[in-house]
């Protein structure tokens, strides 16, 4: 359910980015292709791959960073919404199956545990991990582009 909500939330954003990348491709490259199928192959993009590749790199990096930052979707589903009835929020969903890094950070720093130093350590660790993954993916994509 969380995946469906997240995909629905960001589908339009990524579609607009890909549309912008496609419109930056030189129309002469399409005319040079023999048929419709060869228009979709990488051979057409050899001379003008920078626009499409740049958009792909940007979308992949922002999607991965967004995946590490998921908080609202599982929190809305499993934390109860603060309603009455004496409901106790289920931290991380049933058996912590939906516990994300940001939700753990929130719970540790501001929720049930209230340990600001531990929450700060989680935040810095998440920052370093996201930075390393971003730099690694960017370098992999740059090698493929070259």
Tokens of 134: 């971003």
What are the sequence ranges of the domains in the chain?
Answer: 2-145
Contacts of 105 (CB under 8 A, 6+ apart): 119, 122, 123, 126
Q: What is the pLDDT of residue 93?
A: 82
**Residues 95-133 pLDDT 10s:** 888 899 999 999 999 988 889 999 999 999 999 999 998
**Residues 4-62 pLDDT 10s:** 988 998 899 999 998 888 887 777 766 666 666 655 655 544 545 566 777 888 888 88
Burial (0-12, 13-18, 19+ Cβ within 10 Å), 47: exposed
């Amino acid at each position: 359910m969380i995946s469906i909500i997240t995909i629905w939330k960001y589908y339009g954003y990524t579609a607009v980015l890909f549309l912008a990348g496609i419109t930056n491709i030189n129309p002469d490259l399409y005319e040079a292709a023999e048929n419709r199928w060869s228009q979709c192959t990488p051979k057409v993009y050899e001379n003008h791959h920078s626009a499409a590749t740049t958009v792909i790199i940007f979308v992949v990096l922002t999607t991965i960073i967004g995946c590490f930052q998921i908080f609202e979707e599982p929190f809305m589903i499993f934390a109860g919404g603060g309603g009455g009835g004496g409901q106790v929020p289920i931290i991380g969903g049933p058996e912590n199956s939906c516990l994300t890094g940001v939700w753990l950070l929130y719970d540790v720093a501001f929720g049930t545990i209230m340990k600001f130093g531990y929450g700060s350590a989680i935040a810095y660790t998440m920052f370093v991990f996201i930075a390393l993954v971003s730099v690694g993916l960017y370098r992999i994509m740059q090698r493929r582009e070259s």
